[in-house]
Amino acid sequence: MTFIAIEGIDGSGKSTLSRRLKSYLEDKGYRVFLTSEPYGNPLIREEWIKSGSVESALKLAISFITDRVVHSRKIAERIRKGYIVISDRYFLSTVAYQGLNLKPELATPEKVLSFLLGISEPVEAWPECTIMLDVDPDTSVSRISGRKGRSPFEEKGYLEDVRSFYLEIANLIASDRVKWKTLGEIFIIKSNARRSEVMKQATGAVSRFLSGENQSQ
């Protein structure tokens, strides 16, 4: 059927939205498969995260992409069986988190995106619709501060940079839908608001996307 990715920094509300979107679509009669990344066990070394160097970012990116290649086969299988697949994080997480540290070497966001897309050639499934939750890092850090097993990426200064890069990349993709067609449609939704408001906007975006898709079939 189709594939929807939910993106955003840690504490932006992706997991809650993914679950609610699943129930919303099931109530409408769709079959929905909910999944998330990291999927398997990508090789993530704390020293790579802390270093922030181009070399470390490259190792991390390759590790997340390798994990995604395996994940994408499962997703492709579900799409073929008629499911709507919702993934909590996907390719744009690698662009935002690892691409950020590749930027000094590759110079522009376009080059970062092209490079990461190029090495993602073996990935079998690509989202046709991405919902990006945009939250300010103060709110996101206060939401995640009480969580157990926090990710080593969740440091406020870094999340601020990740957020800016997420937005830069999303706007870049939206500005040239033909060039970046592999990445599908992107909807940016502010998620500082109340959960019910975020949900309303996200379901609105997904419904518009699904009705457009049905018309083109």
Residues lying near ligand TYD in the complex (CB under 6 A): 10, 37-38, 64, 89, 93-94, 97-98, 151, 153-154
One-letter amino acid of 61: A
Q: Nearest-CB residue to ligand TYD? A: 97
Nearer Cβ to ligand TYD (62/174): 62
Q: How far is the CB of 159 from ligand TYD (least distance, A)?
A: 9
Nearer Cβ to ligand TYD (111/143): 143
Our CA angle for 209, 30, 2, nearest 5°, is 45
Nearer Cβ to ligand TYD (40/204): 40
Of 93, 91, 113, the closest CA to residue 102 belongs to: 113
Q: How far is the CB of 97 from ligand TYD (least distance, A)?
A: 3
Note the Cα 40 to chain centre separation in Å. 16
| Strands (E) located in the chain | 2-7, 32-36, 84-88, 129-134, 185-190
Nearer Cβ to ligand TYD (114/151): 151
Calculate the CA dihedral of residues 190, 196, 199, 204 and round it to 10 degrees. -100
Nearer Cβ to ligand TYD (24/153): 153
- Give CA separation, 131 vs 7, 43, 94, 167, in Å: 6, 27, 16, 12
Q: How far is the CB of 169 from ligand TYD (least distance, A)?
A: 13
Q: How far is the CB of 89 from ligand TYD (least distance, A)?
A: 4
Q: How far is the CB of 81 from ligand TYD (least distance, A)?
A: 24
